[in-house]
Amino acid sequence: MAAGGVDGTPVRGRGGGRIGPGMGETCPVAPTDETAQTQPPASPPVPPAAPPAGDGPVRMPGWLPRAMVLALALYACFQLGSWAFDQLIGLLINVLIAFFLALAIEPAVSRMASRGMRRGLATFLVFLGVLAAAAGFVVLLGSMLAGQILDMVEDLPAYLDSVINWVNQTFRTDLSRVDVQDSLLHSDWLQRYVQNSATGVLDVSTTVLGGLFRLLTIFLFSFYFAADGPRLRRTLCSVLPPAHQAEVLRAWEIAVDKTGGYLYSRGLMALISGVAHYVLLLILGVPYAPALAVWVGLVSQFIPTIGTYLAGALPMLIAFTVNPWYALWVLGFVVVYQQFENYVLQPKLTSKTVDIHPAVAFGSVVAGTALMGAVGALIAIPAIATLQAFLGAYVKRYAVTDDPRMHGRRGSRGGPVRARMPKALRKPGAVRKRPQDTPGEGSKAHG
């Protein structure tokens, strides 16, 4: 019996459906006009909308502003450091030269201070002696050079006549001294040279004054380094633990020894060079041979790279006043002796006194010249020797195996490799058989 109302109309559920027969289920029925007006139709679910792009502000990560500020600060510090280094590079080089100069005079100052003299007074006396010797040498060479230049100016017409006569006889020409002098005096290159020299007087004066100021700066710093050496060492060690203090003191002592050894080797080479050039100038009869020999020895050894050419120019000039051919003899001797010194004398003396390999000494001079010019070439060898001696204490060394190859020998044919081979394989063509290759041995092995 179908469920219904009093008037026989079906009973509707809450959803507008009709209750099914016997089970109380609601069955969907078509909505009528009345139902459509009272209840709106169900709409499908709408997913949540994403926030529209560009409508709201996008928040920056919190670490990005700090990273940008840090990067800008580092870049500003780098630029400031580069600018300061470029401005102070000259002062730093002067301080470095002064430090090595102080290391060079440290033994003499310490010896005088150990005998009861104040360290400042001992440093002053050492510098006074060095300056007195340098000033006397410069005055002696200056007076000699001035006298020789005056003699050359007076004898220039005679030299020119001799050269013109040799040219006429050799090349069948007809030159005269008057024509040569007129052509030289009215030449364009001579006039340009005179003009450039006149305009460059101010530059030369500025260079000389700058050199004197730099020399004064070097001597001032070196005096303080030598006079206050113990105080400087105590200041450096006061900020280090005791174990590191011992290492700093040992490095300082090594630097003093190596710098002294380098100066000793340079002085020895200067003595040998001076004696060799003195013998040559004495044979040729060139005047002022002792002073010229001292000039060649000192300048060629303590002015790197161009010192040899500066040292040889003055003896050539003086020898030219005696005989033009003697200048060529001096030039040839300077070139030959320089090769002998570079490849034979200097490597051996440097390796013995500074205790570094000749190839390392040569490479350090080249590297120092490329980095710092003449100053780098001058201090490269003692710096490398100090570094090598200091690092050598921390390099662990092992006993070398007793192998002929260590001595450059390979022995007989096959060498040490034959000695390690089994006796059955030492004979040429011998092949060692395996157990399975022999029937008897194989059966025994498997049995």
DSSP codes, 359-378 = HHHHHHHHHHHHHHTHHHHH
Q: How many Cα atoms sit within 13 Å of 87 on the Cβ side? A: 6
Looking at the domain assignment, is residue 51 inside a domain? Answer: no
Shared-domain flag, residues 107 and 255: no
Q: 172-194 as b/e, with b when 16 or more CB fall inside 10 Å?
A: eeeeeeeeeeeeeeeeeeeeeee
What value does the mean pLDDT of the chain take? 75
263 and 378 Cβ atoms separated by less than 8 Å = no
Q: Specify whether 259 is located in the same domain as 380.
A: yes
* Tokens of residue 263, six digits: 């100066």
Give a yes or no: residue 376 inside a domain.
Answer: yes
Average confidence (pLDDT) over 210-215: 84
Q: CA–CA separation, 220 vs 227, rounded Å?
A: 11
For residue 59, what are the CA distances in angstroms to 63, 374, 421? 12, 59, 76
- Alpha-carbon distance of 289 to 296, in angstroms, equals 10
Within this chain, do residues 272 and 355 fall inside the same structural domain, yes or no? yes
Specify the pLDDT at position 75.
95
Whether 255 and 366 share a structural domain: yes
pLDDT of residue 45: 62
Q: What are phi and psi of 104, to 5 degrees?
A: -70, -35
Q: Does one domain contain both 337 and 383?
A: yes
Q: CA angle, 312 as apex, 381 and 131 as ends, to 5°?
A: 60
Confidence of residue 373 (pLDDT cuts 50, 70, 90): confident
Question: How many domains does the chain divide into?
Answer: 2
Please give the residue range of the domain that contains residue 266: 241-392
Q: Are residues 217 and 258 in the same domain?
A: no
What whole-number distance in Å separates Cα of residue 375 and Cα of residue 303? 9
Specify if 119 maps to a domain: yes
42 part of a folded domain = no
Question: What pLDDT shows up at residue 49?
Answer: 53
In whole angstroms, give the CA distance from residue 148 to residue 146: 5
In-domain check, residue 224? yes
Residue 430 has pLDDT above 50, yes or no: no
Q: Which residues contact 38 (CB under 8 A, 6 or more apart)?
A: none
* Closest among 276, 15, 275, 323 to 159, alpha carbons compared: 323
pLDDT value for 319:
86
Which phi and psi angles does 293 have, rounded to 5°? -65, -40
Is residue 171 in a domain? no
- Among 11-15, 256-260, 278-282, the minimum mean pLDDT is found in 11-15
Is the residue at 358 inside a domain? Answer: yes
| 372 in the same domain as 252 | yes
Q: Is the pLDDT at 6 greater than 70, yes or no?
A: no
**352 band by pLDDT with thresholds 50, 70 and 90:** low
The reply to whether 277 falls in a domain is yes
Based on the fold, state whether residues 269 and 216 are members of the same structural domain: no
Place of tokens 């003396």: 349
Together in a domain, 229 and 295? no
Selection from 249, 251, 244, 248 nearest residue 389 by Cα = 251
Give the residue, 274 or 403, on which the prediction is more confident. Answer: 274
Q: Do 89 and 221 fall within a single domain? A: yes
| Higher pLDDT pick, 130 / 430 | 130
Rounded-to-integer distance, Cα 73 and Cα 396, Å: 43
Question: Which position has the token pair 């017409």?
Answer: 157
Mean pLDDT for the stretch of residues 131-153 = 76
One domain, residues 248 and 388: yes
Identify the domain boundary among 239, 265, 300: 239
pLDDT tens-digit map of 76-107: 999 999 999 899 888 888 888 888 888 888 88
Tokens 């030219």 — which residue? Answer: 320
For residues 317 and 387, membership in a common domain is answered with yes
